[in-house]
Chains A and B, each alone.
Chain A
Amino acid sequence: MFDFLADHRANLCGGSHLSRRQFLQAGVLGAAGLSLPQYLAAKQAGGVKPGHDQRSCIMIFNLGGPSHIDLWDMKPDAPSEIRGPFKPIRTKSPDIDISEILPLHAKIADKFSLIRSCYHSGAAVHDAGWQIMQTGRRFTGGINTPHAGSVASYLMRQRSDLPPFVVLPELMGRGGGNLPNGQAGGFLGKAFDPFELLADPSVENFNVPDLLPPDQIGAARLERRRTMREIVDGAVRNFEASEDARLYDDNFAAAYRIMTSPQARSAFDLSKEPKKIRERYGMNRVGQCMLLARRLVENGVRFVTVNTFLTVFNELSWDIHGSKPFINVDQMKGEVAPMYDQAYSALIEDLDQRGMLEDTLVTGLCEFGRTPKVNPAGGRDHWPQCFTVSFAGGGVKGGRVIGKSDPIGGFPAERPVTPGDVVATIFHSLGLDPNSHLPGPAGRPFPLTDFGTEPVKELFA
């Protein structure tokens, strides 16, 4: 066993000096998180704080860039070309007013808090925002930084046979750019990429594709197949130096564990949920993904990303430019916002009722906000200079507003918060020490978060 903190080269992308056996151990665990001794070592070294063993995170990523001014940072006193068509309503929290198109949020506003002064300095294109918000760092060429979930699955102990990091329903697709978009393990290696569901849990008889062997393959044959595969695969050594090839081996081992674990199978089985609960979340992809996220966390997954939408082109998303192929404000009001309102409020309520909210951080992120001024098509365009993100559970106190935007929602007016701060806040909730280090490219120690970034500690006080 190697000490992963003492030897920064002992990671999956630079592990060429490891023996095959060591590698297999590291790899299998890698694809499934740290082993207990590694975890304890990490904990001792300050990587994971005590008292956070049960912590998990559900990161909701609102693809398209929701309009903060129309949703959670309304400007009723601004001129009409700024304030838009919607009115604010009162909520259960005296500090939070919210848009009339999010009525269910209003009823649980004591459970979540908003940061109204988030901004980033990346390009105002979708992929750039995905990358910067999910990794906390802007890609400038060269070093591809990992998703917060990959970092968590690298540092936190595996709690079950399930993969530590899952993305529902699948990775966000084309956003128009051609650079890393922050949804994967980056320099930590592909072993820390998320497990992708690749299915829509709202369809009838939903199953995780290929989770179980065909009926004719019973336990004995499954075992024989595994033995045979090892005979063949052990014969050639050409693959030792290839990361992709090593990873295939790890994936086979991890897949075998999932297939043979009743807990893993049951976690994905939405038919075990009462109809009433399923309907409370909404019988659509967004709702059922949120429900599945809860089941996965319940069964030991550390980090779940729920992508509410998958592309901005010709499909529903938050990208209200007002002209084709994007959506318009009426679609947001009539379809997108109600769906999200229902699913999000159901998730928070459900976690709360099950006593899981204290240990489950739910964060609602997005790639940017939208222009203060309504455009000629009646929509709003990309605006990374100021937007709102939400936090609930995982130690966060609800009903607060942190930070403030200027009178038109154009720039942060108080307490500006960067993507680095957002990701540091996630790490803080999970009990990861932002001052610890990851094994970076070429073995260079890479800080969990950059100098100058801080968790938004007011959320927890």
Chain B
Amino acid sequence: MRKGGSWTALIVGALSISTAVAGELRLLPEQVQLTGSEARHRVRAFRFEDGFAGPVEKANLKSGNPKVVKIDSAGTLIAVGNGETTVTALASDGSKATTAVRVKGIDVPHEWSFRNHVQPVLMKGGCNSGACHGALAGKGGFTLSLRGYDPEGDFFSITRGARGRRVEVANPAYSLLLTKPTAATRHKGGKVIDPNSRDYRILAEWVAAGAKGPTDEDARLDHIEVLPEQSLLKVGDKQPLIVRAHYNDGRVEDVTHWAKFTSSNEVVAFVDDKTGIVSVVGHGEGAVTAWFDSKIVIARVTSPFENQIAESVYSKAERRNFIDDLVLAQLNRLNLKPSPRTNDSEFIRRVYLDTIGVLPTAEETGAFLASKESNKRGKVIDHLLSRPEFVDYWSYRWADLLMINGRLLRPEALKSYYMWLRGCIESNTPWDEIARQLVTATGSSLENGATNFFAVNQDPETMAENVSQTFLALSINCAKCHNHPLEKWTNDQYYGFANLFARVRGKGWGGDPRNGDGMRTLYVEPRGDLIQPRTGKPQIPAPLDGEPLTPDATDDRREHLAEWLTSPDNPYFTRAVANRVWAAFFGIGIVDPVDDLRASNPASNEPLLASISDHLAKSDYDLKSLMRTILQSETYQRSSMTVPENESEERYFSHYYPRRLMAEVLYDAISNVSGVPGDFNAVKLQDGSEQKTEFYPKGTRALQLYDSAVSSYFLKTFGRNERAIACECERSNQPSMVQVLHLSNGVTVNDKLTKKESRASILAKDTRPNAAIIEDAYLSCLSRKPTPQETSQFEKLFADTPEAEKQMVVEDLFWALMTSREFLFQH
């Protein structure tokens, strides 16, 4: 044995070890503090480059002082005696890295804590999972709180339930708490804890020490961290993770063994739920979520595509603004090639549809294509942002989120709600101001349309859920009954949040939303609280993780909520709306789905989302400014044509992703191109009956409707948002056979074509050569001229048709154009 202790080979299970890569060797974590004789902490060596860890590195470990810390064969540090030392890792190429270790409290008698040790063991064993004793009704007469959110209740159930048979202090091994999970007595859940494990010892020693309950003096978990935070790996690599819990008494413990792991993108990486070892199976960026005691942390895994791309592709790529920098950086990291810039015809069609929801006219397209101005794209963008159709389109989109729905509101109230929203969009009211007006609204439903936000959900719980869903893109519903299983939200936070709305009242609320004239008055009572059912007491009102309010203050609690909601310190508010705007232009959010911003659903490009959010906050929530920045970016203006080096990706914005036009935009495009507007004159109510409406004069476009309940087979079939819940996910752009049958055979296209005022009928009488008619039809439908080949093919079909049937052949030309994917899709 050499002087100073022996080297321990760091063996990490059956991990495959990649060949050594360049980069600085680091031993993680770089500082370890071991408190007490039971303290353990694993260390792992990685090579780092640009902040990314490579695959775990085979290394030998040596303790600087075995009287302070020793190292077992699995690479775990074990406290031996008080003092400080270092642990050194020696890699096969001779490079070294160290971890500073401090051991203290070795002489203090060790006690396991119910809250911080026993509960995690039960969690890891799955005892308190929803399928077992964590179910609302428990299992086999034994009930635990779901994933241990209620330590006091669980302690009671363990020590006092079943007439105390669950713990035998005098003879711990006979406790049901130990005989059941080891399957020593009959246990339906089978054997979940090994009698030779440390977990068993924790439970046994806790019982033996008197089975003490949770106390107010217990150290509380502050946050958790994961190491390494980001790794750059290859398919086939396996990467171990370390999860550390930081307690408010300063202790930091290795809780990897008790953490629960899930992969957010199993196309890129799997994770072993028990060990936290990540296996890379595909290309792209994935994330692994570690959950411990209602805290969440994310480890990112990057696995570059196997393309050969010259560095100059990125360094010489066009960049308009920060969006391009951040997208290109990611493409570079992932070895994905950006598609080139889109051509002018595609651009003008795309930017019209995405910004104002209408097709450019043949004249507008012609002028744009002919223009030689260098900044003509920028000019079109500015022009569109100030068009009146911009107001129609964006009012419609936000109305989806705000549930402006004739099945929930009477016509006059519905109109007032819509007109309020429309006014906001027209004056480009900043988003934080829109949010503030909505959540603090009071008064008459007809005079202040914003009050109807609360009329569609009239109890405090649903109000809270909807505010969260709408403005934070967070679903907190799970926390109504128990701590959110995938998130950090607790049951107490839910009720604290809901209690902010406990005093909101509506004169005339309740009953069937269809009754009466829709005139309701929203006011706020000076007192009243929502009871937290678990405790039977009101929960102190607080906005989720914000500061609690004084419960007996009589002012409107929603004012406080609005402050917290729109504060620059609230990360969710800005990210939620920035991500929604982004998704409106790209068809996919940076976080996707856009209604799901929980921490365990990470962004595909976090710096990008952070930067557009920052941009929005700095521009005082001017949504148009964010839209302009997005539209001007080279990223937005890329072709939808893939290149071989990016064709399989749909997350990192290397090209524009074709998507079917949204139902209303498609309907309007069909009306517009055919020259025959639609009719919207009835509303379909909850019970299926129809009611006439006179809100919409002839010529009203689908995007100008206030209401999602307006009867329309077309809009329903093409997946409009029915606005029954506050979720953009209610809208579907999925193709289906039913849609195809409707386009082919249904009234929408066919009836419009045969009308005598239709564009097809007019062009059929046109005396110009057929080529001119064909070109007109192409320009209006597809915003491009036909190719010479297309022209000649159609000219031949025209020539083969008798003059008497010209109307029909022109109709068929339009039908073919309007059912082509080039028409149906945004591209």
- Give the residue name and chain of the B residue nearest to A231 (CB): B793
Proximity string of chain A (219-252) to chain B, C-beta cutoff 8 Å, 1 when within and 0 when not: 0010011011101110111111110110111011
Stretch of B201-209, B496-504, B612-620, B819-827 with 4 or more beta carbons under 8 angstroms from chain A? B819-827
* Contact residues in A for B266 (Cβ distance below 8 Å): 142-143, 441
A212: CB under 8 A from chain B? yes
Stretch of A94-102, A190-198, A298-306 with 4 or more beta carbons under 8 angstroms from chain B? A190-198
B647: CB under 8 A from chain A? yes
- Give the residue name and chain of the A residue nearest to B824 (CB): A248
* Contact residues in B for A244 (Cβ distance below 8 Å): 658-660, 733-735, 825
A16: which of B130, B639, B648 is its contact (CB, 8 Å)? Answer: B648
B822: which of A14, A235, A240, A314 is its contact (CB, 8 Å)? Answer: A235
A31: CB under 8 A from chain B? yes
Give Cα A238 to B824, complex, Å: 13
Q: Which B687-736 residues sit within 8 Å CB-CB of chain A?
A: 687, 713, 717, 724-725, 727, 729, 733-736
Contact call B647/A241, Cβ cutoff below 8 A: yes
* Contact residues in A for B725 (Cβ distance below 8 Å): 174, 178
A210: which of B727, B744, B797 is its contact (CB, 8 Å)? Answer: B744
Q: Which A241-293 residues sit within 8 Å CB-CB of chain B?
A: 241-242, 244-245, 247-249, 251-252, 254-256, 258-259
Contact call A198/B794, Cβ cutoff below 8 A: no
B737: which of A31, A225, A314 is its contact (CB, 8 Å)? Answer: A31
Give Cα A255 to B738, complex, Å: 9
- Give the residue name and chain of the B residue nearest to A184 (CB): B734
Contact call B745/A213, Cβ cutoff below 8 A: yes
Contact call A238/B687, Cβ cutoff below 8 A: no
Contact call A231/B794, Cβ cutoff below 8 A: yes
What's the minimum C-beta distance from B758 to chain A, rounded to whole angstroms? Answer: 14
Contact call B741/A233, Cβ cutoff below 8 A: no
Q: Which B775-827 residues sit within 8 Å CB-CB of chain A?
A: 782, 787, 789-790, 793-794, 797, 808-809, 812-813, 815-817, 819-822, 824-825, 827
Contact call B737/A233, Cβ cutoff below 8 A: no
Greatest chain B CB density within 10 A among A142, A237, A254 is at: A142
* Contact residues in B for A123 (Cβ distance below 8 Å): 130
Contact call B639/A228, Cβ cutoff below 8 A: no
B307: CB under 8 A from chain A? no
Q: Which A406-459 residues sit within 8 Å CB-CB of chain B?
A: 441-442, 444
Contact call A255/B812, Cβ cutoff below 8 A: no
B468: CB under 8 A from chain A? no
Contact call A196/B647, Cβ cutoff below 8 A: no
Proximity string of chain B (183-210) to chain A, C-beta cutoff 8 Å, 1 when within and 0 when not: 0000000000000000000000000000
B157: CB under 8 A from chain A? no
* Contact residues in A for B738 (Cβ distance below 8 Å): 195-196, 198, 209-210
Contact call A190/B734, Cβ cutoff below 8 A: yes
What's the minimum C-beta distance from A218 to chain B, rounded to whole angstroms? Answer: 10
* Contact residues in A for B641 (Cβ distance below 8 Å): 237-238
B9: CB under 8 A from chain A? no
* Contact residues in B for A227 (Cβ distance below 8 Å): 797
Contact call B744/A255, Cβ cutoff below 8 A: yes
Give Cα A254 to B475, complex, Å: 39
Contact call B642/A241, Cβ cutoff below 8 A: yes
A252: which of B595, B740, B817 is its contact (CB, 8 Å)? Answer: B740
* Contact residues in A for B506 (Cβ distance below 8 Å): none
Q: Which B478-532 residues sit within 8 Å CB-CB of chain A?
A: none
Contact size range, B: 35 or more
Give Cα A237 to B825, complex, Å: 13
Contact call B475/A209, Cβ cutoff below 8 A: no
A178: which of B729, B787, B794 is its contact (CB, 8 Å)? Answer: B729
Contact call B264/A213, Cβ cutoff below 8 A: no
Contact call B815/A225, Cβ cutoff below 8 A: yes
B267: CB under 8 A from chain A? yes
A211: CB under 8 A from chain B? yes
A216: CB under 8 A from chain B? yes
B657: CB under 8 A from chain A? yes
A314: which of B659, B686, B782, B789 is its contact (CB, 8 Å)? Answer: B686
- Give the residue name and chain of the B residue nearest to A236 (CB): B822
Give Cα A138 to B42, complex, Å: 34
Proximity string of chain A (23-63) to chain B, C-beta cutoff 8 Å, 1 when within and 0 when not: 00000000100000000000000000000000000000000
Contact call B735/A442, Cβ cutoff below 8 A: no
A214: CB under 8 A from chain B? yes
Give Cα A277 to B471, complex, Å: 54
Query: A240 with B642: in contact, given A190-B735, A198-B717, A228-B812 (CB under 8 Å)?
Result: yes
Give Cα A434 to B675, complex, Å: 55
A22: CB under 8 A from chain B? no
* Contact residues in B for A323 (Cβ distance below 8 Å): none
B37: CB under 8 A from chain A? no
B632: CB under 8 A from chain A? no
Give Cα A249 to B739, complex, Å: 12
A355: CB under 8 A from chain B? no
Give Cα A441 to B263, complex, Å: 14
What's the minimum C-beta distance from A409 to chain B, rounded to whole angstroms? Answer: 14
Give Cα A240 to B658, complex, Å: 10
B762: CB under 8 A from chain A? no
* Contact residues in A for B153 (Cβ distance below 8 Å): none
* Contact residues in B for A143 (Cβ distance below 8 Å): 266
Contact call A224/B745, Cβ cutoff below 8 A: no
Contact call A259/B744, Cβ cutoff below 8 A: yes
- Give the residue name and chain of the B residue nearest to A251 (CB): B740
* Contact residues in B for A209 (Cβ distance below 8 Å): 713, 738, 741-742, 746
Q: Which A111-151 residues sit within 8 Å CB-CB of chain B?
A: 121, 123, 140-143
Query: A211 with B657: in contact, given A195-B738, A196-B738, A216-B754 (CB under 8 Å)?
Result: no
* Contact residues in A for B262 (Cβ distance below 8 Å): 140-141
Greatest chain B CB density within 10 A among A163, A224, A249, A256 is at: A224
* Contact residues in A for B659 (Cβ distance below 8 Å): 242, 244
B281: CB under 8 A from chain A? yes
B750: CB under 8 A from chain A? yes
B131: CB under 8 A from chain A? yes
Contact call A238/B658, Cβ cutoff below 8 A: yes
What's the minimum C-beta distance from A311 to chain B, rounded to whole angstroms? Answer: 10
* Contact residues in B for A211 (Cβ distance below 8 Å): 741, 745
What's the minimum C-beta distance from B136 to chain A, rounded to whole angstroms? Answer: 8
* Contact residues in A for B655 (Cβ distance below 8 Å): 241
B816: which of A121, A228, A240 is its contact (CB, 8 Å)? Answer: A228
B741: which of A216, A221, A255 is its contact (CB, 8 Å)? Answer: A255
B265: CB under 8 A from chain A? yes
- Give the residue name and chain of the A residue nearest to B808 (CB): A221
B282: CB under 8 A from chain A? yes
- Give the residue name and chain of the A residue nearest to B805 (CB): A221
Query: A232 with B822: in contact, given A174-B724, A178-B727 (CB under 8 Å)?
Result: yes
Give Cα A251 to B787, complex, Å: 26
Give Cα A217 to B346, complex, Å: 32
B113: CB under 8 A from chain A? no
What's the minimum C-beta distance from B641 to chain A, rounded to whole angstroms? Answer: 5
Contact call A232/B736, Cβ cutoff below 8 A: no
Give Cα A43 to B746, complex, Å: 39
Q: Which A299-344 residues sit within 8 Å CB-CB of chain B?
A: 314
* Contact residues in A for B736 (Cβ distance below 8 Å): 190, 193, 196, 251
Give Cα A123 to B648, complex, Å: 35
Greatest chain A CB density within 10 A among B595, B736, B754 is at: B736
B770: CB under 8 A from chain A? no
Contact call B735/A251, Cβ cutoff below 8 A: yes
- In the complex, given contacts A225-B816, A231-B793, what are 13 additional A-B residue pairs having Cβ atoms less than 8 angstroms apart? A31-B737, A163-B737, A174-B724, A178-B727, A198-B738, A217-B745, A225-B812, A232-B782, A235-B787, A238-B658, A244-B658, A244-B825, A252-B740
Q: Which 3 A-B pairs have the closest CB atoms?
A: A228-B816, A121-B131, A210-B741
Q: Which residues of A contact B (CB under 8 A)?
A: 14, 16, 31, 121, 123, 140-143, 163, 174, 178, 190, 193, 195-196, 198, 209-214, 216-217, 221, 224-225, 227-229, 231-233, 235-242, 244-245, 247-249, 251-252, 254-256, 258-259, 314, 441-442, 444
Ordered by A's residue number, 6 sampled pairs between the chains whose C-beta atoms are within 8 Å are A195-B737, A210-B745, A229-B819, A231-B794, A242-B640, A314-B687
